Amino acid sequence: MDKREILILIGSRIREIRELKGISQQDLAAGCNFEKSNMSRIEAGRSNITIGTLVKICDVLNVKLSEITNNM
Amino acid sequence: MDKREILILIGSRIREIRELKGISQQDLAAGCNFEKSNMSRIEAGRSNITIGTLVKICDVLNVKLSEITNNM
DNA sequence: TTTCGTGTTGTCTTATATGATAACCAGACT
DNA sequence: AGTCTGGTTATCATATAAGACAACACGAAA
């Protein structure tokens, strides 16, 4: 799996969990201290995010990093 | 677990796997197309690496991303 | 229709990761 | 002594992620 695929998978996983918890992109982004526009890009896999950003998102979603990267 | 801890854990995991496979930082870095100095920082958890960089390293080490992030 | 909620996209600045180079340290070996 | 090998650290330029902002699309509900 290459970088592009992984980023898309990570984004999809984030979106899946977010929707499962009934949170809007807006609110998730706000919890992470950034704009919904950036969250939209992240969920679309269009941003090569850092571990720091991913950890922030995991924190707000209240999931472990390994839950996001599971099977990758 | 916060960002700092996670980065240190990821770095340690990379080093562990690299040494297990008997590769030098030099060679791992070369396989990733960057310098040993950067690999040193990454293994020390002193660089907030992107998913792209992590995927590159996983590729050269021939491990899955989830093997690195396991239990985090 | 208008308004609201949610998400997307483009563009901008600033912060920082990437990547290169050089100097350095510690062991091992000659 | 010198000379490898492996790793660390400092500094630099460049690429790009982070973060903010505005405009837009679309469906639902008023």
Nearest CA-CA partner of B15 in B1, B46, A28? B46
Residues B41-55, mean pLDDT to the nearest whole number: 97
CA B21 / C1′ D23 distance in Å:
52
| Category of A6 on φ-ψ map: left (φ > 0), alpha (ψ -120 to 50) or beta | alpha
Q: Report the half-sphere exposure of A60 (CA within 13 A, side-chain side).
A: 22
Nearest CA-CA partner of B50 in B35, B63, B65, B64? B65
In this prediction the pTM is 0.94
CA B21 / C1′ C13 distance in Å:
43
Q: What pLDDT is recorded for position B18?
A: 96
Q: What pLDDT is recorded for position A1?
A: 86
Residues B40-46, mean pLDDT to the nearest whole number: 96
For residue B57, the chain A residue with the least C-alpha distance is A3
Contacting residues for A37 by C-beta, under 8 A, at least 6 apart: none
**Is the pLDDT assigned to residue B1 strictly greater than 90?**
no
Q: What pLDDT is recorded for position B40?
A: 96
Residues in chain B within 8 Å Cβ distance of A2: 55
**10-residue block means of pLDDT along chain A (72 residues)?**
95 97 96 95 97 98 96 94
Which positions 35-64 on chain A have a beta carbon less than 7 angstroms from any atom of strand D? Answer: 35, 37-38, 42, 47-50, 52-53, 56
